[in-house]
Structure 1
Amino acid sequence: MSSIEPIDLARASDAVELSPDAVVVRSPEGRVLAWNPAAHALYGWPASEAIGRVFSELVETDVDGGVATMEAALASSGRWEGQVTRRSVRAEARVLLVRAITRRGEILEIAQDVTEHHRQRTALERSERRYRNLFGAMAASFWELDFSTVGAMLRELTASGVRDLREHLTAHPETLRAMMRATRVLDVNDQTVVLFGRGDKNELLGSVEPFWPEESNGVFLESLLAAMGGRPSYSQETKLRAIDGREIDALFTASFPAETVARGKVVVGIVDITARKRAHDALERSEHRYRHLFHHMPLALWQLDARGTVGVFKAARAAGVTDLAESFDRDPDLLRQCLEGMVVREVNQPTMAMLGGRDPEDFAGSVARFWKTRPDTFRRAMEARYRGEATFQEETQIDTLDGRVIDVLFAVARPGPSSDPTVSLVGIIDISERMRARQQLTRLQSEAAHAARVSMVGELTASIAHEVNQPLAAIALNAAAATRWMGRPEPDLDEVRALLTRVHADAKRAGAVITRIREMVALRAPVRAEIALDAIVDDALLFLGHELRAQQVVVHREPTAARVLADRVLLQQVVVNLIANAVHAMAGRPEGSRRITVRTELDDTRARMTIDDEGPGIPEADLERIFDAFFTTKAQGMGMGLSICRSILDLFDGKIVATNRASGGASMAIVLPRA
């Protein structure tokens, strides 16, 4: 190295001073000999303080293999170039591209700041990995198609005088099928083999016609017209057919970049709709290749930046929090922090249409404004995420930008452990129509139950009259006796007072009967409340008391403290119906052998009421149909009673089961979640 000339900065001083890159000259011992203004700006030390000091005392250097390896390479070859990270007490850490040479032991180093370039490259690599991982979870198939022959066929039709291709090809489906046969499959991905094939990719390469049932001709036609019309894409739900003949409900999306359409090529994406409903995070494959698909899925999609919320979670875990729900209860501000920490990064067009936005920028910022009505849903989603659950789904309501509140199916998913933990994907489906239909169904069920109660009251007229007449007769008798006592020369006021007390009690008893009847026949919305099962049995037996005595039926009770959440009147209707059915079932039994057992039981999660009779039982062939609407074994029955009973129990997450007892007779079991 002795033949190499020493570094002469004097001749190049102007160039060094003007250089945008940091130029530093060090002695063999590492002391700074020269230091230009760019070095001052980069490292924070002015030349007056840097020159003469050891470079490593001013600036800390991190490099792969260590600084010693870098210095050794420089000493052996006289040159070194590479990327380092440097920081000083006066400047933040920066990523630099350093080029260094030695001249007689002195080291000339030029450092270029590439921090921003490094950050962008790292972000790009991270983004690409994230979207590739997301696509790996998608139930999506992709096809590369050659439709150059179809383009020629369409141009030939136009040249022959056909002005309306849609009308012509609709009227001539055989021509359209010929175009399908002319569209060739060039390549497919692995998911396509899973969805459409039988394990051999080659059997999918050929004409696309076998995959298109005739009922989907219109979608194929519209995709051709979209391509010919210069549209960037076309998307539609349709039916497709697999190699083995299975029909698949699919979302068909074709993308038409101008450069590929010009070569007669097109890429088609197909998503199994069932899989899409199960996994809303299977919507993007990569930020660059499948951005178009994200924006044309007929589903409201959000991409959220959860860095703020992840920070809240990290702080909670560091504090030893294992149950986020308890923390939310203790500190309501924690939920606000989670809401503010979840920021909208991107939305697609269906989201803007659903929530009243005109531009994606309308959605920028925290998600808090969308959860004013139902923050409880967001809270449960956060609790699920804190527990490590990858997905969360719930029917709820969300606030729109234009002030509406809509019913939605909300689903959120986050990538797996190997992906960016700050990314969350949200899918929202507007279920307003479904909720209105459900409310209409509930109303119709309520009206049917009401009609059944009115009918039941009509059937129990004799029992009701007896229950009312008893206290009324007692009132008349006691009132007459009180009048006679008052008519004596010396009235016995104590006796009169006792008689009037009995009159008052009988009047309350009659009033209670009338109140129960009015509640039974009133048309109202179900009210869920905590009630004791045996109290419902008490009410039912009061209604049926006269009928039970007239038919000489003995009721045996086995009560417990079982309590449930249900509507008292509706549940009373079920029990009255079942006991009345048991009475009717035993009408052919000899007197003295008519017995009904009502038993209530309780376990950890469920409450159960069993009503057993000693009638002939239920024919085995009828057990599966006994709760069907309009099915009846009675000559004068309409077949609605048990069907309505089942509908009522469905409202409260309950069920009813009919069986035959081994000793004879039928058994009806009501099961409800315990309160």
Structure 2
Amino acid sequence: MRLFGLVNPKQRLSPYEIGVVSFAFLLAATLFYLDTFTDIQSALATLYVITLLLSAETLTERGTLLLAGVCISLSALSYVAGHGLQGDLAAALRLTVAIAAMVITCLLIIRNQRARLALIKFNTDLQSSEERYRTIFEQSRVALWERDYSQVRALLVKLRENGVSDLQAYARNNPDFIADCIACIPTVAANAAALELLGHVDARNVSSMRRYIAQDDATFLELMVAIFNRESSFEGKGSIITSDGTTRLVLLTVGFPEDVANFDRVIVGMFDITEREMAQKALFEAQAELALASRAATVGALSASLAHELNQPLGALVVNAQTLQRWLDRDPPDLAAVSRSAERIVRDSQRASDIIQSTRSMLSERTPVLESVSLADLVSETQMLMESELAKNRIAFDTSETPGITAVSAVRIELQQVMINLFTNAVQAMAATPEQHRRISVTIELAECQSVSIKVHDSGPGLSPEVLKNLFKPFCTTKATGLGMGLAICRSMLEARGGTLTADNHAEGGALFQMTVPIEAVHE
């Protein structure tokens, strides 16, 4: 029968089970004989229920159904053999009662078998889960403890019931409170990583953590507060003392069970973060040193920037002052020329002041003053500022503007500084160019993304690949007396306001610098 799935799938039946099954079948045969060949007028067929009950522990669900079918068939056969096809109401009622009893018994046995199988499966899964948990617990490289928090929880609940609302204040007023709590938390189990963290101690020596918790550590009290406030978990940094007296910094994690009955086995995890904290401390110290070096570098860059940007207006001041002195030395003095030179001195002094204010605003959090700037007018004004230098070097200057370009919203002095730098570089780049070919061409046209492009093209030798590669890097210069800050400062100023500055060689020769300025102000 085992081959047909009628008997429970065990390796072998015990002698007791074999005897019970044999007795059940013998009882079924005896009942069939008595019900068929004797004149006993009673519901003997009902006793087939005993056969089903005796076989319930041995047969499978399929075997039970088959045995119930056999018993019902035997009862029907006995009825036919004893009464034929003639109707006998009393006998028919006895048969019906017997069949009903067998059907109900069969269903109850099947239900119990299924419940028993489910219970067996549940216990098997539970055992398997416990084995997996124990394997993870023992083999994990994370320090794990199983601790009994039931006693300390009961202590904290009692304090709450007695009216304690601030556990930290209670701990300050009761110096022995922490020690009492530690004594109420025995260690149930600890894995190898936990024993290693404490200094390769014996598992029998960690039944209490009193020896390993630092005296001045506040993390344990925070853990007690978490339990006191009925929180679901706790995480905090603390320190422990290993068996050799070394202090280790750890990250403590505890998850509290929802069922208070499970507080007798709470998992506690510890992560050794000593090296991480030391590295972080070293990083903070390095950042502080870097900030100090950065401030020193900022002062140096600011000094270089001011030296570069103030060079032109200060040079103009000297020239205009010398010119004014020559006009005064004439006999009689040319007062009109003196007045013009004085106006230029005031103008250049104001430019120097504006440069300083602009540089300060870039280093501070103050919002710069934006104004509506006509780029054509600004180019013309800048050309006038450099008129003497352009004339001295015999340089032609022309400007073209695409019709319909509106004014831009920008910091006027910053744009003018950029233009002066580009025009000055162009003048210096054409030093070896024949005078009749020296020219600076400025083109103003619309660009993408709601911006205006200003292109400055000179007729010099152009830019070599090596120069183009490092052109906008600070302190990169091709001039013997240059600081290499001008173009780097220009690009930084434009990018701070949403613009750009690029450089390339023109198809017709010479260098081409292109600056873009957004039409609308960029809000940072």
TM-score by length of 2: 0.36
Q: 1 or 2, which has the higher strand percentage? A: 1
The higher radius of gyration belongs to 2
